[in-house]
Amino acid sequence: MGRADAATGYLFIAPQLLGVLVFVVFPVGLAVWYSLNEWNIFTGDMAFVGAGNYQAALEDPQLPSVLGATAVFSGGVVVLNLVLGLALAVMLNRRFRGSVLFRTLFFSPVVVSVVAWTLVWGFLLQDNGGLNGALAAVGVDGPNWLQSGPTAMIAVTFTQVVRSVGINMVLFLAALQGVPGELYEAARLDGAGSRTIFFRVTLPLISPTLLLTAIITIVGALQSFAQIAVLTEGGPGLSTTVLVYYVFQQAFSFNDIGYGSTLALMLLTFVMVLTVIQWQLRRKWVFYED
Amino acid sequence: MPTTAKKLVSALALGTLATAAGCGGATAASDEDVELRMTVWTSNEDHLALFDSIADAYIADHAEIKSITFESLPFEEYNTTLTTQIAGGNAPDLAWMGDLSADLIDSGALVPLTETLEGTEGWGYEDLLPSVTGEFSRDGELYAYPFSNSPFALYVNTDLLGEAGQTLDPAGLTWDQVSALGSAVNAATGKGGFVVNDFNYSSWNTLATVWTAFGASAWNEDGTECGFDSPEMAEAFTFLHQAIYTDKSMPGPGTTADFFAGDAAFAVAQVSRAGNLDGSFAYDIQPLPAGPVGEYSVIGQAGMGVLQSSAHVEAATGFLAYLTNPENAAKLAQYFPPPRQSLLTGEALAANNTKFTAEQLQTVVVDQVAGAVTLPNHTNPAEIAQKAKTALDAMWTEDADVAAVLGTVCDAIDPLLAE
């Protein structure tokens, strides 16, 4: 490639590169710098503390609970989202009356504002709210969903999954429709049952989509903020305080920008490590990588 | 290709130049071209119109002031937005403040006001009630003008009491009586007994309106020792716990009961919330009920001060002195219970309050302000609030060990109080 061609290429990617530099690389660099300092935002004084904030993270008595809640929430969201998304896609991949309506219904929460969605669920999940009212109508005494740790975690996980499962369903649907029909026919001729066909034909052929959805679901789960802020404010106790909400509290409620930046870098590291691990593991289970 | 590349380079260069020119176009504000900005948390059009009219009058007499704007920020996000503006180098010249005042004062972010206000002819510094300036002062120096001093009172839904066959005797009203009446209302109507507005099992500082009746306080006077593990606080929380889980006189966590929608018999709320009374039910208002320590009163305060980071400290301080002089303070008193003794009369407050009589306002506002305590306030308020809330969450279960939970609150906030 000639120099002129290379320059042209760079110019074409320049807008995107500029965006990444200004809105990603520069802020991450700033976060690294802030994490090495104590910043009194009222006076503007910034004191270099080196690894002080990282040491504080190691000694933070709340951080283990926060990381635990993050793992439970993210794990729950990822597993449920992928399993439900795939199950819905498989069901709605068949032609039957109303299949388009069901696809629309399951996808519609994706386009609803996350705050509006969460506010409505906040009302429904009240002790005297709609959900317990419906349960009472069938003789079930529902729990006070948002007031005890386990049910609050179930509630925030459920609202997140229901809201976002539609996007995975659509991606899986597209992937399922790309599986050649003759492969199913060949499998049936060979005597394969439905279960065998699903695990030996369908799943391997949609594995690239599975990889994509796994990555975006994990990243999305680790970034879930509004559900926690609106539904539980991290409570009761620290039971639903996930890392991204804790970062917000430290940096913007407690005005501890240095420690908040340290935790934000920790979150960034988690996301990067998980993504790299999945990317590396793809060779073992994504079919076109063999 | 080279031609295309040249075109693209030229476009990029032009864009860069244009951006640079745009950035360089701004000039530093001079003393003759002062633009002041004050952050507020009200979005009430009447409030803002009053502020604008006072500002216009000031600008008319001060040629150096080009504009004064009042920036409405959402109340829930006010502290976060203000601190973000300060951190981002975009601090306002003047700001309203609530529980952020201690942090602002202790960090030296506010301009001392005493000398300016005392030196302003006709301002009447001695007219300020000592009970309302303490929260905004350090070592005798005032850092923010306490423009709003709204006492907490007991709102009563008399229709709901009547529906339950109950009547309220206001003479010597106690918390035990309120709880008994609330319990009867809940049993008869299924609606809530008493609620503490804005508490929502989260903003625990509002419970000071109850625990003060038991002689308890969140921390000692200089804010260094936790008060949650005191016997008085245990008594107060035992009362609340029994009200929720035994007497059913207080709606439990996760239960919505809006007094102003007619869902509860009593509400502890500031007098300034009277605007929410829409006439859909008959109501009364009483001072807070007495507790084991007798009668008491609690106020919620808001102040306005000048930021040290302002490029126009002198102009901003001058405007603050004008905004709060006796004439304008009387105008502000239409909406905010004033800190000036001369303006605190039932008749004066009733002139602009259609919800209550002069006699009621005398009883629940004027008679309460002078001896009132304020809601708990401390430096680092958000972190203390969060740590205490996290520990207090364990209180809101039927089998909670009240004393043990209160002990964990102190464990959680002691390190912060010691800082």
Could you tell me the residue ranges of all domains in chain A? 62-289
Residues A41, B8: C-beta atoms closer than 8 Å: no
Structure confidence by residue, pLDDT tens digits, A147-161? 888 999 999 999 999
Amino acid identity at A84: L
User: What pLDDT sits at residue A1?
Assistant: 60
Alpha carbon distance B359, B349 (integer Å): 10
Q: For the whole model, what pTM was predicted?
A: 0.84
Query: What is B34-150+300-364's CATH number, 3.30.70.100, 3.30.70.1150, 3.30.230.10, 3.40.190.10?
Result: 3.40.190.10
CB B297 within 8 A of CB B371: yes
DSSP secondary structure, A219-270, as one string: HHHHT--HHHHHHTTT-STTTT--HHHHHHIIIIIS--HHHHHHHHHHHHHH
Pick from B328, B304, B352: which is nearest to B57 by CA?
B328
Residue % of chain A over a pLDDT of 70:
99
Nearest CA in chain A to B252: A127
Q: Which residues of B touch A226 (CB under 8 A)?
A: none
Alpha carbon distance B3, A8 (integer Å): 10
Q: Please, where in chain B does CATH 3.40.190.10 lie?
A: 34-150+300-364, 151-298+373-418
Structure token pair of residue A127: 């002790």
Phi, psi of B92 (to 5 degrees): -70, 170
Q: Looking at domain A62-289, which CATH architecture does it have?
A: Orthogonal Bundle (1.10)
For residue B268, the cross-strand partners are B154, B196
Residue A101 CB-density burial (10 A; 0-12 exposed, 13-18 middle, 19+ buried): exposed
Q: Where are the alpha helices (DSSP H) in B125-273?
A: 130-133, 158-163, 175-189, 208-211, 231-245
User: What pLDDT sits at residue B347?
Assistant: 82
Whether residue A140 has pLDDT greater than 80: yes
Alpha carbon distance B86, A43 (integer Å): 9
Mean per-residue pLDDT over chain A, rounded: 92
Task: Look up tokens 């994706």; give the residue.
Answer: A110
Spans of chain B below 50 pLDDT: 1-29
Q: Measured between CA atoms, how close is A9 to chain B, in angstroms?
A: 9
Tell which of B191, B203, B258, B386 to mutate to test the A interface (max A CBs under 10 Å).
Answer: B386
Alpha carbon distance B397, B281 (integer Å): 33
Residue % of chain A over a pLDDT of 90:
79
A5 closest CB neighbour out of B1, B80, B383: B1
Structure token pair of residue A37: 């300092």
Structure token pair of residue B246: 């035994």
CB A160 within 8 A of CB A177: no
User: What pLDDT sits at residue B30?
Assistant: 52
Query: What is B151-298+373-418's CATH number, 3.40.190.10, 3.10.150.10, 3.40.630.10, 3.40.605.10?
Result: 3.40.190.10
Q: Give the Å distances, CA to CA, from A11 to A6, A22, B16, B17, B141.
A: 9, 16, 14, 17, 60
Residues A249, B104: C-beta atoms closer than 8 Å: no
